[in-house]
Structure 1
Amino acid sequence: MSTRRIEAGELELGGGLEVLLAAALEGMPAGGRLEVITPSRSTALELPSWARGVGHEAVSERPVPGGSFAVEIERGPFDRVLAEALRGGRPGPPLRDGAFHTADLRALADVLPEADAAAGFTPLGATAERGAPAFRWTLNQRDALWADDVAELTEQASAAQWDASRDIPWEAARGLPDFIERAVSQVMTFIAQNEYAALYVPAGFLADVNPAYPEMLMWLASHVHDEARHVEVFTKRSLIGGQPSYALASTELSLHTLLDERDFSGAALLLNVLGEGTFLDLLRFVEHHAPDAATRAAAALAHRDEVRHVHFGISHVRRHIATDPDQTAALIGAAERRATKLTETSGLSPLLTEGLTVMAAGSLQPAELARGATEVRELMQTMEDNRIKRLRAAGFDGRDAQHLSDLHTPNLM
Structure 2
Amino acid sequence: MTRYTPTVEIGLDRMREMARGNFDLSWMDSNPEGWGHEVQRSKAGLKLTDVDHGFYGEVPEHGSIHGTMAPRGCHVPEGTISLDQYTINEMTEIWADNAAALYDEAVVRQWNSVTDVPWEKLETLPEDMEKAVCQMCTGLAEVEFVAGDMPAKWLCRINHDFHEVKLFLATQIMDEARHLDVFRKRALANGGGLLTASPGQEELLAAILNAPDYATASALMHIFGEGFVLTLFRQGEFLAPTEVEKTIFGLCMQDEARHVAYGVKHLKFLLERHPEREEDIHAILEVGEQAIFSLTLEPQTSEPRAILAGGGLENIELGMARMAFIYEKQVREYLQRLKVAGIDRESRLSIPTEIPYKEIAT
* TM class, shorter-length: 0.7 to 0.9
1:149-298 aligned at under 5 Å gives the runs: 149-244=98-193, 245-298=195-248
Q: Does residue 290 of structure 2 align to residue 330 of structure 1?
A: no
Question: What number of residue pairs does the alignment pair up?
Answer: 336
Structure 1 unaligned blocks of 5 or more: 1-12, 28-80
AA of the residue aligned to 1:100: L
Question: In 2 relative to 1, CA 188–16 (structure 1 residues): closer, same or farther, beyond 3 Å?
Answer: farther
* Cα distance in 1 between the residues matched to 2:218 and 2:69: 25
* Cα distance in 1 between the residues matched to 2:293 and 2:248: 32
Q: Do the aligned partners of 1:288 and 1:296 also contact (CA within 8 Å) in 2?
A: no
Deviation by residue 1:291-342 (Cα, 9 ceiling, x = unmatched): 11111111110001000000000011011111121121221122245568x5
* Cα distance in 2 between the residues matched to 1:174 and 1:185: 14
**What's the RMSD between the two structures over aligned residues?**
2.9
* Cα distance in 2 between the residues matched to 1:88 and 1:385: 49
Tell me the percent identity.
26
* Cα distance in 2 between the residues matched to 1:183 and 1:139: 43
Question: So what's the TM-score if we normalise by structure 1?
Answer: 0.74
Which of 299, 313, 320 is residue 263 of structure 2 equivalent to?
Answer: 313
Matched with 2:71 is: 123
Q: Does residue 323 of structure 2 align to residue 373 of structure 1?
A: no
TM superposition shift of 1:85: 4.0
TM superposition shift of 1:133: 2.4
Question: So what's the TM-score if we normalise by structure 2?
Answer: 0.84
Deviation by residue 1:146-202 (Cα, 9 ceiling, x = unmatched): 101111011011111001111001122241111110000001111111102121111
Higher relative CO (Cα under 8 Å, sequence separation at least 6) belongs to: 2
The 3-state SS of whatever aligns with 2:268 is: helix
The 3-state SS of whatever aligns with 1:311 is: helix
Deviation by residue 1:334-375 (Cα, 9 ceiling, x = unmatched): 2245568x599475211221111111121333xx33322210
* Cα distance in 1 between the residues matched to 2:295 and 2:109: 37
- The structure in which a higher percent of residues are strand is 1
* Cα distance in 2 between the residues matched to 1:206 and 1:336: 25
Q: If you compute each CA radius of gyration, which structure gives the higher value, 1 or 2?
A: 1
Deviation by residue 1:37-96 (Cα, 9 ceiling, x = unmatched): xxxxxxxxxxxxxxxxxxxxxxxxxxxxxxxxxxxxxxxxxxxx7x99442773224222
Matched with 1:87 is: 32
- The structure in which a higher percent of residues are helix is 2
Q: Do the aligned partners of 1:387 and 1:405 also contact (CA within 8 Å) in 2?
A: no
Q: Do the aligned partners of 1:283 and 1:303 also contact (CA within 8 Å) in 2?
A: yes
TM superposition shift of 1:378: 0.8
Which of 387, 390, 401 is residue 334 of structure 2 equivalent to?
Answer: 387
* Cα distance in 2 between the residues matched to 1:386 and 1:88: 46
Q: Do the aligned partners of 1:115 and 1:140 also contact (CA within 8 Å) in 2?
A: yes
Matched with 1:359 is: 308
AA of the residue aligned to 1:94: V
Q: Does residue 88 of structure 2 align to residue 139 of structure 1?
A: yes
AA of the residue aligned to 2:80: A
Structure 2 unaligned blocks of 5 or more: 1-13, 356-362
